[in-house]
Structure 1
Amino acid sequence: MTNPVLDGLARARHSAVHLEIRDAYQPSDPEFIAWQTGKRFDPAADRSSWWRPFLDVVTETTARGVVMRRARIVSEPVTDYIKYEYDVTFPHVAAGELIRWLPRRKAADIPLPGTDLWMFDGSSVLFTYFSGVGKVVDREWRTEPAVVSMVSSAFEAVWGRAIPHEEYKPV
């Protein structure tokens, strides 16, 4: 079975953007559970202790000149899952991904898609649909110009207001 995100990243030539709008994802994720019980990645430790296979893809993608940007819209106070995501974001930044955080109250007047997504080269969008508890239930590729334009406009509005990872502090 192929992974549509990895396929999109492999085909990307200049840009890949990722919009995340949920406050929790897959609460049964073993890494999240380990974090809840005290496991933390240490940026000063041996890189192999916190490097994950997806980060090799990020490194390869950005090395080809593809700009990868991720924006996360979060409720404040943040959930434990968002605290976890914040704690495990530094490896993504080290791999070359640009990440920003936008408090939900600052996104209230931005027309947004109803679900998380990836957009590649400003021409194709991969929507990810989740169950109520954050489990992926389906993905859908869309390439209609109106959909791509709406997603691009929404992402750029979020990106323009969002706080770079290095400056954001979860509340």
Structure 2
Amino acid sequence: MAVPKLEDRLRRCTRSAVHLEMRDEYMRSDARFVAWQNGVRRDPADSDPLRRPWLRLVADLVAQGVDVRRARIVSEPVSDYIRFEHHLTGPNVEAGEQVRWLPRRRASGLALPGNDFWLFDDSSVVFHHFAGDGELAPDDEEFTDDPVVVKLCADAFETVWDLAVPHETYKLT
């Protein structure tokens, strides 16, 4: 049986899809990141739903009443990759995704899962596994609907969300 892709899992959501990111570096080999490092800051593809399918997906989900939220825990001063993500986040927000940023120094007292995750409708979780260099690991996704793990992730996300700064007011340091 084929394992559902992230997009399929998201499209099945009826209420909420939340994502917690806790790394300072991701897939530095990403062509958009490489272009950004080389000075490309106004690529029309960054805000074009036809060329950046994530934006269309978010807009579709939000139009169906799904609450799409992302929280990022970041070290400060932020890494170049986080600067890149911040640069790309404006179009995500315009598409309907809510995004907040939590400086890592404010997360010290929080109980957090060991990996980034997506939580779907408060009923299942997909953890993402990355190698030390930020690239996706060969076994990059781990699915669970264990109620204890789901609750851990839901509680962690909401705690981070409550402490985090909305994208519109978060200033990079």
Match of 1:141 among 140, 143, 151: 143
Look up the SS of the partner of 2:18 in the other structure: strand
What amino acid maps onto 2:117 in structure 1? Answer: L
The question of whether the paired residues in 2 share the 8 Å contact of 1:50 and 1:91 is answered with: no
The alignment's C-alpha RMSD in Å is: 2.0
Aligned to 1:109: 109
Within 1, Cα distance between the matches of 2:145 and 2:10?
Answer: 16
Alignment of 1:1-171 (within 5 A): 4-41=5-42, 48=48, 52-137=52-137, 138-171=140-173
Shift in Å, 1:36: 0.4
For residues 115-140 of structure 1, give each alpha carbon's deviation from its aligned partner in whole angstroms, at most 9, with x where no partner exists: 11000000000000000011111201
The question of whether the paired residues in 2 share the 8 Å contact of 1:19 and 1:116 is answered with: yes
- Structure 1 residues 55 and 158: alpha-carbon distance in aligned structure 2, compared to 1, 3 A threshold: same
For residues 86-140 of structure 1, give each alpha carbon's deviation from its aligned partner in whole angstroms, at most 9, with x where no partner exists: 0010110011000000000001101001111000000000000000011111201
The question of whether the paired residues in 1 share the 8 Å contact of 2:49 and 2:55 is answered with: no
Q: Give the structure-1-normalised TM-score.
A: 0.93
Unaligned runs of 5+ in 1: none
Within 1, Cα distance between the matches of 2:58 and 2:168?
Answer: 19
Look up the SS of the partner of 1:118 in the other structure: strand
Q: What is the percent sequence identity of the aligned residues?
A: 52
- Structure 1 residues 38 and 107: alpha-carbon distance in aligned structure 2, compared to 1, 3 A threshold: same
For residues 125-156 of structure 1, give each alpha carbon's deviation from its aligned partner in whole angstroms, at most 9, with x where no partner exists: 00000000111112011101100000001000
The question of whether the paired residues in 2 share the 8 Å contact of 1:19 and 1:118 is answered with: yes
The question of whether the paired residues in 2 share the 8 Å contact of 1:41 and 1:50 is answered with: no
Q: Give the structure-2-normalised TM-score.
A: 0.92
For residues 29-82 of structure 1, give each alpha carbon's deviation from its aligned partner in whole angstroms, at most 9, with x where no partner exists: 110000001111378x99539951111111111110000000000000000000
Runs (4 or more) in structure 1 with deviation over 6 Å come to none
Unaligned runs of 5+ in 2: none
Within 2, Cα distance between the matches of 1:50 and 1:107?
Answer: 36
The question of whether the paired residues in 2 share the 8 Å contact of 1:115 and 1:127 is answered with: yes
- Structure 1 residues 68 and 51: alpha-carbon distance in aligned structure 2, compared to 1, 3 A threshold: same
